[in-house]
C-alpha cells in the first residue's frame, strides 16, 4: 500500500519545478504558498515509499529512516494542513478583497512551519518515537509523551481542517454576493463555485478521515490494516485536490 506513491513523484516534481522556477509564479504569494503545500505533499509521497521499502526489506538505511525520514514524514502532514489553511486565508484576502495587516499571511506561514517543528522535535529526539512494527508505522505506547502529543496533534489538525472549510464557504458566499450585487448571471461562474465547494468538501472529508484513522481508531482496532487503507485512499484525494488547485 506504500509503493503506489512513487508514481506520483514525477508529477509533483514537475509541478513544483514550474511553480518555483517561473518568475511570474514564484513572485505570486498564492502560488508560493501552493508550492509549499506541494512540497509537504511531496515529502508525504516520498516518505510513504521509503517506509514501504523499509517494511519490505527491513533495511533502515543506517538509522536514517528512524531518525530522519519518519520524523520529517510524520510532521509534514501537520505543516501541510497549516499551510493549506494559510493558502485559504490568502484566497479570502484576494477574492473577497478583505483588509488584513500587511504581514498576516507571512506570519501565518511561519507559524505553520513552527507547528511542524513542534511535532518534529519529539519524534527526532525519540521522546515520542514512531516505529515500524509488523509492517505498519505506529506510535510507541511506552513513551509518556505519546498520549499528550497524540491529543495535541489530533485536535490541532481538526481545528485547522474545520476552519479551512469554513473559510472556503465564506469565499463562496462572498463570490455569490458579488455576483448578485452586479446582477451578472454566468454559468461558468456557477460551475466554478460548485467546483470550489466540492474540492473543499472532498479535502475536508479526506483530511478528517485520515486524522481519525491515524489518531483515534488505533485505540479501538487491533489490526491497523483498514486504517492504512483509508489513510492512503484519503491522501490520493488530497493529491487530486492539489492538482485541481
Integer angstrom CA distances of residue 178 from 171, 184, 233: 11, 9, 36
Is residue 231 pLDDT above 50, yes or no?
yes
Per-residue pLDDT reduced to its tens digit, 36-86: 888 888 888 788 778 777 877 777 777 788 888 889 988 998 999 999 999
* pLDDT over threshold 60, residue 172: yes
User: 2: pLDDT confidence band, cut at 50, 70 and 90?
Assistant: very low
Predicted local distance difference test score (pLDDT) of residue 187: 46
pLDDT at 133 over 80: no
Domains of the chain (ranges, CATH numbers): 3-244 (1.20.1070.10)
Q: What is the pLDDT of residue 184?
A: 55
- What is the pLDDT, as a whole number, of residue 115? 95
pTM exceeding the 0.75 threshold for the entire prediction? yes
Residue 17 pLDDT: 74
pLDDT of 241 over the 60 cut = no
Nearest to 92 by CA among 29, 11, 136: 29
What is the DSSP code (8-state) at residue 139?
A: E
Average pLDDT of the residues in 77-97: 91
User: What pLDDT is recorded for position 1?
Assistant: 47
What's the pLDDT at 244? Answer: 46
The dihedrals phi and psi of 203, each to the nearest 5 degrees, come to: -65, -40
Q: What is the DSSP string of 54-106?
A: HHHH---GGGHIIIIIHHHHHHHHHHHHHHHHHHHHHHHHHHTT----TTHHH
133: which strand partners?
A: 136
Amino acid at each position: 500500500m506504500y509503493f503506489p506513491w512513487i508514481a506520483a513523484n514525477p508529477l509533483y516534481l514537475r509541478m513544483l519545478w514550474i511553480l518555483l522556477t517561473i518568475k511570474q509564479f514564484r513572485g505570486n504569494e498564492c502560488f508560493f504558498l501552493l508550492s509549499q503545500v506541494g512540497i509537504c505533499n511531496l515529502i508525504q509521497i516520498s516518505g510513504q515509499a521509503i517506509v514501504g521499502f523499509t517494511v519490505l526489506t527491513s533495511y533502515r538505511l543506517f538509522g536514517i529512516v528512524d531518525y530522519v525520514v519518519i520524523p520529517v514524514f510524520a510532521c509534514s502532514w501537520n505543516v501541510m494542513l497549516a499551510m493549506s489553511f494559510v493558502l485559504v486565508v490568502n484566497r479570502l484576502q484576494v477574492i473577497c478583497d478583505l483588509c488584513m495587516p500587511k504581514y498576516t499571511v507571512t506570519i501565518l506561514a511561519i507559524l505553520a512551519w513552527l507547528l511542524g517543528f513542534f511535532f518534529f522535535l519529539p519524534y527526532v529526539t525519540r521522546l515520542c518515537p514512531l516505529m515500524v512494527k509488523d509492517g505498519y508505522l505506529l506510535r510507541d505506547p511506552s513513551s509518556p509523551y505519546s498520549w499528550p502529543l497524540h491529543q495535541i496533534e489530533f485536535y490541532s489538525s481538526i481545528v485547522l481542517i474545520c476552519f479551512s472549510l469554513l473559510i472556503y464557504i465564506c469565499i463562496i458566499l462572498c463570490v455569490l454576493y458579488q455576483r448578485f450585487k452586479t446582477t451578472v448571471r454566468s454559468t461558468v461562474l456557477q460551475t466554478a463555485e460548485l467546483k470550489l465547494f466540492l474540492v473543499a468538501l472532498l479535502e475536508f472529508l479526506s483530511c478528517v478521515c485520515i486524522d481519525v484513522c491515524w489518531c483515534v481508531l488505533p485505540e479501538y482496532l487491533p489490526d491497523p490494516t483498514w486504517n492504512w487503507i483509508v489513510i492512503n485512499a484519503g491522501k490520493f484525494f488530497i493529491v487530486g485536490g492539489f492538482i485541481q488547485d
